[in-house]
Amino acid sequence: MRVRSFKLSDYVSVTQLFREVLTEACYEETIEAFARQLSWDSELVLVALNPENEIVGVIVGTINENKGYYYRIAVATEHQRKGIGKQLIQSLKMRFLQRKVSKILVTVDLHNQVVLPLYEALGYRPVDFDHAAHRLKIVNG
């Protein structure tokens, strides 16, 4: 498994992955935030590739007021529970640390409750969960 920065040529595969994994409401919200993040700083969007170089996971992060936020993570259903999400989170954490953010937070909304145990397993605690996603610039423009 390899994690790298998003490339423009990944757009179709990533949007298909979002559509497959996310609910319709989550997809609609995520695709807008994803587009904003790509236009502002695509280095905070990472993809995971399998050995055949197919995109099997994506994570979207953002920096808001010098805080790093994990915004959305999606892993193809058939590749879940194989450590891909963990790799994506750890890779994005490194990007945040390189940018010297003051804090790293997990954005929590009604769509991502199911992945919170993954963040907890990686050492994130309730104090690291931000329930105000609507305040992020990539969400509200």
- State the 10-residue block means of pLDDT for the chain, 141 residues long: 96 98 95 95 97 97 96 96 97 98 95 92 95 82 72
Q: What pLDDT, on a 0 to 100 scale, did the predictor assign at position 141? A: 72
pLDDT at 98: 97
For the chain, the domain total comes to 1
Q: What is the pLDDT of residue 132?
A: 81
d(CA 63, CA 44): 8
Alpha-carbon torsion angle 31, 12, 88, 41, nearest 10 = -60
pLDDT, tens only, 8-43 = 999 999 999 999 999 999 999 999 999 999 999 999
Query: pLDDT at position 110, please?
Result: 87
Q: What is the pLDDT of residue 86?
A: 97
Cβ-based neighbours of 120, under 8 Å, separated by 6 or more: none
CATH assignment at residue 8: 3.40.630.30
Q: Is the pTM of this model over 0.85?
A: yes
Determine the structural domain holding residue 80 and report its residue range.
2-140
Percent of the chain with pLDDT over 70: 99
State the amino acid at position 32 in one-letter form.
E
